[in-house]
Amino acid sequence: MNPAAGGRAVAADTPGAEPGVGDAFERLLSALRSALADRHARAAEAWRDGRSEEARRLSERAWWLSGILREAEHLARKWRDGTRRPPEGSGADDATTVTMIDKGARAVGILFGRRIVVRAGSTVRAQDKGSLDERTRRLRERCRRGGILLPTDRPGLLRLPRDLTFDSPSAAARFVGGCSLNGPKLWRRPDGQPIGHGS
């Protein structure tokens, strides 16, 4: 497994994954289910009309599609499960739950060495500030377009519906806060101490 690099967020256990992969899986599964239902309906109609050869052909295609659908569902489950697992080789035995609060945004993360998995349900600030670096700005925009950042009932905040892994505390802090921030000072351990304290 390749680690995330250069401050880029990567779904855990999905090397190089970009936000929106989950949506792509859902579109694929929806298309396969629709095609399978269509083949079943057409085969049933052909059997009723006595077109046995066409019915057999459509049934074979339905069987073939059902196999593809099962494989796609399996891959989608593996991908979803992967986003919830700690990054491989990340020091999971030393995992620590950390929190970050910044101007109303509240994020919960799991710290593995220097990497942080920002957990689903965390909130982030909606506005991009002028100090935000271009890479994080593009990432946040992709997340908004791809349904990885969703509106909340609180003005100025967005919600993260799934886990995202960042390669450093500051990369995660910039994503949450929408501006240049010092992650080791803002992410705090359960005892309230910043994760950079004493390091």
Q: What are the extents of the domains in the chain?
A: 21-82, 92-186
Place of tokens 């960042």: 166
Residues of the chain with pLDDT under 70: 1-22, 78-94, 197-199
Helices 52-82 and 21-48 meet at what angle, rounded to 10?
Answer: 160
pTM for this predicted structure? 0.56
Quick one: pLDDT at residue 170?
A: 95
pLDDT score recorded for residue 128: 93
pLDDT at 12: 38
- Contact (Cβ atoms closer than 8 angstroms) between residue 195 and residue 98: yes
Burial class of residue 99, CB neighbours in 10 A (0-12, 13-18, 19+): middle
Length of the chain (residues): 199
Task: State the pLDDT at residue 81.
Answer: 62
